[in-house]
A and B are shown apart, each in its own frame.
Chain A
C-alpha cells in the first residue's frame, strides 16, 4: 500500500501540469454528462492519453525520467507521441465544447474577437504542414543536443519548459494529422498530404535514434555526473534510450498512416452507402 502511495506521489509536483490534466479530465467528463456522446473508444483514447501524460510527469516515474536517459526517452515518447496521439485521435473538441458555458464558447465572437483572430493566425501558421513537421522533428533534435539537454536536466524550470514544449507540439502535430469532422481553425489536409508529412518526419527520427544507439561515446554526461536512478551501464542506458527514440517513435508514423487511410476508406464507404 505504502509502495503504491509512494509511486503515485509526484517526484516534482507541478501545479500547472496537475491543473492542466485535472481540467482535461473534468471538462471531458462534464461534456459527457451534458449529453456529448463521443463513443467508448474515443473516450477511452482521450482518458488514456491524458492519463499517460499525468503518469509520466506527476508520479514517481518522473524520478526515473530525471535520472535515467532511457526513462527520459520513454517519458518524451509519451509526452510528444503517444499521449497527444491518443488525445487527437479521439477528436475531443465537441465533448470539450459541450462542457464549456455558453459565455465561454461565445468569447471568440465577442469583444475578445481581435485576440482570438490573432491567435488563430498564429495557430494556422504553426499548422502549415512543413512548419508542423519541422517543429515536430526539430524539437526532438533541439532537446537532445547534448549541451541543451545538460541544461534542461539541470534546471528545474528548463526541465518543465522542455516537457511542456514537447506535449504542446505533440498535440499540434497529431491534431493536424487526425483532424476530421466539422471544419474548424485547423487546416484540413488531404489523406495523401497527411501521409506525406508522416513519412517525412520518420527518417530524421530514425537517423537520430540510430546515431544515439550506435554511438560509442557517452553523449549525455548529465546522467553520469548527477547520478543514475540505479546502477546501470551508461552505454546500455544510452542504447535503450536510442532504441526508444528510433523504433517506437517512427513506428507511430506508420500506425498513424494506417489510421488516416482507414478514416479515408470509412468516409468513401459511407458516401457510397448514401448514394
Chain B
C-alpha cells in the first residue's frame, strides 16, 4: 500500500513538474518553446508596405498587440522593451526588432502609428490590418482583444493582451514577457535569444 502510494505521488509529482516546465528551461521570464506557433503574419507596416514574417528573419523579433490611444499598458510595455534592449548590452540586439501591432485600425492610421513608434525606439515598427485579419492573428497566438462602448466624445477603450512575444532569428517562439517581469530578466533573456 505504501509502495503504491509512493508510486502514485512520484508519478503525480513528475507530471506536475513536466507540465509546469513546458516552454523550455533557463529563462528568467516565461519560456514558450514548443508552446506557441512560430512567427507568422501578414500586415501593413506604418510605411504603407505589406510585411510578413520573412521580412523579420535574421534577427530576433518582439511582437506586441496594442493601440496608440492606450493610456497605460502600451506605453509602459514599449518603454520597458526599449529599456530591456538597451540593458541587454548585446551587440546583436541592435538588429532586434519590435513589432507593435495595432488592434485598433479604425483610429490608428499609418502616420499616427509611425509617430507613436518613433517616439519609443528606432527598433519599433508599427503595423496593422483589418479587424478580421487581426482576429485571426491574435487567435493564432492565443490572445484576444475587444472594444468598449464609445463615450460621448467617441472615445473608447480597447481590451488587449499585455504580453510581448519574443521570437528568435529563425522565427521560433522563445519567450513571453509579462508585465510582472523585471527589465533585468527581460534583458537577460534577450541576450540569450540574440546569441542563439
Binding site for B on A (CB under 8 A): 11, 63, 66-67, 131, 134, 138, 142, 145, 147-148, 150-156, 158, 221, 224-231
| A224 in contact with B35 given A67-B144, A151-B22, A154-B142 (CB within 8 Å) | no
B25 within 8 Å of A (CB atoms): no
Closest 7 CB pairs of A and B: A147-B20, A155-B35, A226-B143, A227-B161, A225-B163, A148-B19, A227-B144
* Distance A230 CA – B144 CA, assembled complex (angstroms): 9
- Shortest beta-carbon distance from B158 to chain A in Å: 10
Q: Is the CB of A156 within 8 A of B8?
A: no
| A221 in contact with B178 given A142-B15, A151-B23, A154-B142 (CB within 8 Å) | yes
Nearest opposing residue in chain B for A12, CB measure? B139
Q: Is the CB of B143 within 8 A of A227?
A: yes
Across chains A and B, the number of contacting residue pairs, with CB separation under 8 Å, is: 75
Q: Is the CB of A227 within 8 A of B8?
A: no
Contacting A at CB under 8 A, from B124-174, are: 138-139, 142-146, 148, 157, 159-163
B32 within 8 Å of A (CB atoms): yes
Interface residues on chain B, number (Cβ under 8 Å) = 31
| A227 in contact with B23 given A142-B16, A156-B142, A158-B35 (CB within 8 Å) | no
Binding site for A on B (CB under 8 A): 8, 12, 15-16, 19-20, 22-23, 30, 32, 34-36, 138-139, 142-146, 148, 157, 159-163, 176, 178-180
Which of B19, B145, B161 meets A151, CB within 8 Å? B19
Q: Is the CB of B146 within 8 A of A229?
A: yes
* Distance A67 CA – B143 CA, assembled complex (angstroms): 8
* 17 residue pairs A–B, Cβ–Cβ below 8 Å: A66-B142, A142-B19, A145-B19, A145-B20, A147-B20, A151-B20, A151-B23, A152-B19, A153-B142, A154-B36, A155-B34, A155-B142, A221-B178, A226-B163, A227-B144, A227-B159, A231-B157
Nearest opposing residue in chain B for A224, CB measure? B162
Nearest opposing residue in chain A for B145, CB measure? A227
Q: Is the CB of B19 within 8 A of A226?
A: no
Q: Which of A134, A142, A154, A229 has the most CB of B within 10 A?
A: A154
Extra 15 A-B pairs, beta carbons < 8 Å, given A142-B19, A158-B22, A158-B35 = A131-B8, A134-B8, A138-B12, A142-B15, A148-B20, A152-B19, A154-B142, A155-B22, A225-B161, A226-B144, A227-B144, A227-B146, A227-B160, A229-B146, A230-B159
Q: Which of B16, B144, B176 has the most CB of A within 10 A?
A: B144
| A231 in contact with B20 given A224-B162, A225-B178, A226-B163 (CB within 8 Å) | no
B23 cross-chain contacts in A, Cβ below 8 A: 151
